[in-house]
Structure 1
Amino acid sequence: MNDVQEHHEKEIQGFAAHELSRLSKEWWCFLVIGILLVIGGIASIAYPWFTSLGVVVFLGAVLIISGVTTIISAFWAREWSAFMLQILVGIVYLVTGFVITDAPLTSLALLTLMLAGFFVIAGGFRIVTALIVQYPQWGWHLFNGVVTSMLGLIIFRSFRQLPEEPSGVLWIIGLLVGLELLFNGWTWIMLALVMRKLPVPKSGQA
């Protein structure tokens, strides 16, 4: 039984190595993707306000497209019990998308408030979990929860400045998007550099 399992693991490892070696030919594609993501992340961090608005407008456009496609698909398959439900869902998507794109600043404020609430709830959950369970390295989890909750409370407090300072803290979404793009791009770059060092299979090998 152990011999069969060992043979199976060797086959899996061999398959993975073979696939990676094939991908090593296209390592530069992953490098280009990573560089573009890093550039996009840096631009988003440098101009988070515009990125935040862009995210909201993009969300509204996606909802509009989803609403239209949902309504069309419902009429294509109208002979089913969920026809009216699909129509209602499509209308909700469509109306929500138009509302978001028509008032992006208000929508951005609401989205930022939702994000702040999520931070407070998620941080509180991490704090309670860390204090009750006290698993290995629970102190870092506790610290993470405190920081996350504090960030949410700071965002809530900053909303008081919105009438005097419209930009307020609404740039936080753009900053988070920029950080995500930056770290994701750096991951792709590191993967490309590793794949570059892998052996390239010969033309006769499949």
Structure 2
Amino acid sequence: MTRSTGAAGPRGDTAKLNRGFGVLAVLGVILVVAGLIGLIYTAAATLTTMLLFGWLLLVGGIVGLLHAVQARQTNFFWLGVVVAALNIAAGVVIIKIPEAAAEALTMFAALLFLTGGVFRLVGSLVVRGPQFGWTLVQGAFGLLLGILVLATWPSSSQYVIGTFFSLSLLFDGLGLIATGYGGRRIVGMVAGK
């Protein structure tokens, strides 16, 4: 009886692993499709991203407020209440006016690209480390991207956030597909030995 359980156990584990990696691959395909749709409809992707962000802030603020009320005897009660209130307020504002929130977030992203690009460029020129060329290219790309987004702002806010979010979905999905496919191959190779 122990032998049959031992023999069935590895096969069952292999089947579970294969199913798990298969689920990862299917989720990857869903993310890739969502990313491609988002790249086609960038304005809708931007609006959807902002609404999702607003709802996450709102729900997170409500949960934070409930947690602060539960911990009202601690020294961090008021800090928890203030942070929760700010999250709730930001969530409500983003849900009510997602276009303005997208404009503000796009401006913030452009400024991050600009400052990051400048720091990488200067850092690569000053340090001249082993990754000099790659850091220089990253800095120049960040600086160029920041300038391009700012040059067309606020109209760029209609597509920048949606494009970045869609690209993130696309690459995350490709990563999950590769993990699922590679994992199944490795399980098949190990189980075949």
TM-score bracket, normalised by the shorter chain, equals 0.7 to 0.9
1:120 and 2:114 correspond: yes
Larger proportion of helix: 2
TM-score, structure 2 as length reference: 0.84
Letter in 2 for 1:115: A
1:74 and 2:62 correspond: no
List gaps (5 residues or longer) in structure 2.
1-12
Q: 1:52, 1:174 within 8 Å by CA — same for their partners in 2?
A: yes
Per the alignment, residue 108 of structure 1 pairs with: 102
What does 1:172-187 align with in structure 2 at a 5 Å threshold? 172-187=160-175
C-alpha spacing 1:122/1:168, structure 2 compared with 1 (3 Å)? closer
Per the alignment, residue 137 of structure 2 pairs with: 143
What does 1:153-164 align with in structure 2 at a 5 Å threshold? 153-159=147-153, 162=154
C-alpha spacing 1:199/1:91, structure 2 compared with 1 (3 Å)? closer
Per the alignment, residue 57 of structure 2 pairs with: 63
1:43 and 2:43 correspond: no
Alpha-carbon displacement from aligned partner over 1:57-91 (angstroms, at most 9, x marks no partner) = 11111111111111112222211122122112211
TM-score, structure 1 as length reference: 0.79
Root-mean-square deviation (CA, aligned residues, Å) is 2.1
In the aligned structure 2, how far is the partner of 1:56 from the partner of 1:79? Answer: 35
In the aligned structure 1, how far is the partner of 2:157 from the partner of 2:97? Answer: 17
Per the alignment, residue 12 of structure 1 pairs with: none
Q: Secondary structure at the match of 2:158?
A: coil
Identity %: 28
Q: Secondary structure at the match of 1:81?
A: coil
Per the alignment, residue 84 of structure 1 pairs with: 78
Per the alignment, residue 26 of structure 2 pairs with: 32
C-alpha spacing 1:26/1:97, structure 2 compared with 1 (3 Å)? closer
Letter in 1 for 2:168: E
C-alpha spacing 1:95/1:194, structure 2 compared with 1 (3 Å)? same
Letter in 2 for 1:174: G
Q: Secondary structure at the match of 1:198?
A: helix
Q: 2:102, 2:157 within 8 Å by CA — same for their partners in 1?
A: no
C-alpha spacing 1:81/1:136, structure 2 compared with 1 (3 Å)? closer
Per the alignment, residue 93 of structure 2 pairs with: 99
In the aligned structure 1, how far is the partner of 2:161 from the partner of 2:14? Answer: 35
Alpha-carbon displacement from aligned partner over 1:97-133 (angstroms, at most 9, x marks no partner) = 1111111111110000000000001111110111111
Shift of 1:140: 2.5
C-alpha spacing 1:56/1:196, structure 2 compared with 1 (3 Å)? same
In the aligned structure 1, how far is the partner of 2:161 from the partner of 2:60? Answer: 23
Count of residue pairs the alignment pairs up: 178
Q: 2:17, 2:187 within 8 Å by CA — same for their partners in 1?
A: no
